[in-house]
Structure 1
């Protein structure tokens, strides 16, 4: 009887925990659910009555997506492509250069190492709004205003990524570096062939974070970009709301489509992240 009572109590606690976490997940997903409901609702009714459950069941329509895919939103797909291109290039370059800097700060001893790391921490603590003016002045002098590279250049080596890779590389086995040197491998070969595979979990985590940051970046592209064809998706969607007219059909349906790359990025790198956690360079 005591074992049965304990089992019943444990099952009751498990059910309560499941309900609690389901409620928390529902609260966290509510903004996304609201956005999806709005994308399938007539924009005029949505502005008049707000977001209500009755609006979804009685006013369900796909006209918003028809407008998005029907050729009336040509600029939207241009913005979408710009964001995809910038985010993809920025993720690759950021992972390469930030991992190299973090790796060097972690495993090598050289003069000024501590000073460089302190500079990384100081830049990490400075709000980006303070750095915008000197960065913009730099882009003007380099003639990179209204260009893809002007958006990417200040973000390629992110302080948070350097700090993250440095902390991760501190736990890598140094014995593997000595083994590589004995076998005649160069320092770059040691990093690329031996250490980089061990850093797979950190690469996956930073790919998700950097991709999310680049895809949602609004302020810096707004400052650097000028022409409508060069806008990224957040900047382009913001231009749909003006005092002279609002294109809510494209705004709501386009915002739903903007979520897809982030979900795909997370699902893709999550598998590598979990697999990398189970691997190790040295056993015993």
Structure 2
């Protein structure tokens, strides 16, 4: 009976490996097609479109040479803009959202539940509905066509506040009381004691916020005006026009745009699953 069960377990394991390998290939197909397109001349793109067929004989690196040449000057300006905005947004979002979520979880004050309900309500409202009042607010602040216009509405994200609040509910309050007895301030308790315990949640939210900021298209489209201020998704979209399509920069640039997200995930991956699961089960 045990031997039969072992055979069944091995069969199930093999089946799951094959199944998830197929799923992984399906998920990776757009990326594979993108890399092949980046290594193909524009004539092949017009003839075959995006495809996973390997035409090794026609592969070259002219598309990437175009990026690193004079033709890619604007591309690197967009790349730098996205890096600056994403890096600042990750840092500021983690800083402020973690403090808000921590306060909602571990402090008792008047209006605490009402504030948390507001966070949940905003979380349920699509961002597209909020864009018009946010745009008018940025205009009144005279921040249009600046980094601050892109970052300001997204610094304290409702999803980040909710996530940090759920994670903070599992932190031991005894540490707070002991630190107060030792004369530690409330900010000292957070930064010196609680924040190190929240590292998995910081890592998980850094990946999610970084991915969201890096791929953000619609909001920068509204608040950015000059070509030099465009973010990478917005800049790449301008390469496709009725008057001509710059496929060389478009596909090669799209491949290089994946690199920061891969680096971010590899840097925080060991904390990612722990942060998501811990933040999801605390209630």
TM range, normalised to the smaller chain?
A: over 0.9
Q: What is the CA-CA distance between 1:8 and the residue it aligns to?
A: 3.5
Q: How many Å apart are 1:6 and its aligned residue?
A: 4.2
| Aligned residue in 2 for 1:108 | 107
Give the superposition deviation at 1:251. Answer: 0.3
Displacement of 1:273? 4.0
* Structure 2 CA distance for partners of 1:244 and 1:101, relative to 1, 3 Å: same
Distance in 2 between residues matched to 1:130 and 1:270, nearest whole Å: 33
Distance 1:70 1:111, change over 3 A: same
Unaligned runs of 5+ in 1: 280-284
Alignment of 1:14-33 (within 5 A): 14-33=13-32
Deviation at residue 274 of structure 1 after TM alignment:
6.2
CA 1:149–1:112 in 2, change beyond 3 Å: closer, same or farther? same
> Root-mean-square deviation (CA), in Å?
1.8
Shift in Å at residue 48 of structure 1? Answer: 1.6
Inter-partner Cα distance in structure 2 for 1:217 and 1:81: 15
Q: Does residue 81 of structure 2 align to residue 96 of structure 1?
A: no
> Which residue of 2 is the match for residue 36 of structure 1?
35
In the aligned structure 2, how far is the partner of 1:218 from the partner of 1:29?
22
In 2, the alpha carbon distance for the partners of 1:191 and 1:73 equals 45
Aligned to 1:238: 237
Change over 3 Å in CA distance of 1:244–1:55 after alignment to 2: farther
- Alignment: residue pair count: 278
Q: What's the counterpart of residue 226 of structure 2?
A: 227
CA contact (8 A) 1:146 1:227 kept: yes
Q: Which residue of 2 aligns with 1:191?
A: 190
Closer, same or farther: CA 128–3 of 1 in aligned 2, 3 Å = closer
Q: Distance in 2 between matches of 1:234 and 1:252?
A: 12
Match in the other structure for 1:282: none
2:204, 2:275 within 8 Å by CA — same for their partners in 1? Answer: no
- The offset of 1:171, in angstroms, is 1.1
8 Å contact kept, 1:200–1:273: no
Residue 146 of structure 1 pairs with residue 182 of structure 2: no
Look up the match of 1:253. 252
Contact 1:64 1:250 in 2 (8 A): yes
Partner in structure 2 of residue 81 of structure 1 = 80
**Offset at residue 54 of structure 1 (A):** 4.3
Please say if residues 86 and 152 of structure 1, whose CA atoms lie closer than 8 Å, have aligned partners that are also in contact.
yes
Are the aligned partners of 1:102 and 1:169 in contact in 2 as well (CA < 8 Å)? yes
The corresponding residue for 2:208 is: 209
CA offsets, 1:224-280, max 9 Å, x none?
000000000000000000001100000000000000000000010113446879x9x
- TM-superposed CA distance for 1:163, in Å, is 0.6
For 2:2 and 2:132, how far apart are their aligned partners in 1? 68
Deviation, 1:53, is 4.5
Give the distance between the partners of 1:234 and 1:52, measured in 2 at CA: 22
| Equivalent residues of 2:33, 2:51 under 8 A apart | no
What is the CA deviation profile of residues 51-86 of structure 1, one whole-angstrom value per residue up to 9, with x for unaligned ones?
A: 344453232111111111122110000000000000
1: CA distance, partners of 2:123 / 2:4: 54
CA distance in 1, matches of 2:21, 2:188: 47
CA distance in 2, matches of 1:55, 1:202: 41
Q: Name 1:137's counterpart in structure 2.
A: 136
CA distance, structure 1, for counterparts of residue 124 and residue 205 of structure 2:
19
Q: Give 1:10 deviation, angstroms.
A: 2.9
TM-score (normalised: structure 1): 0.93
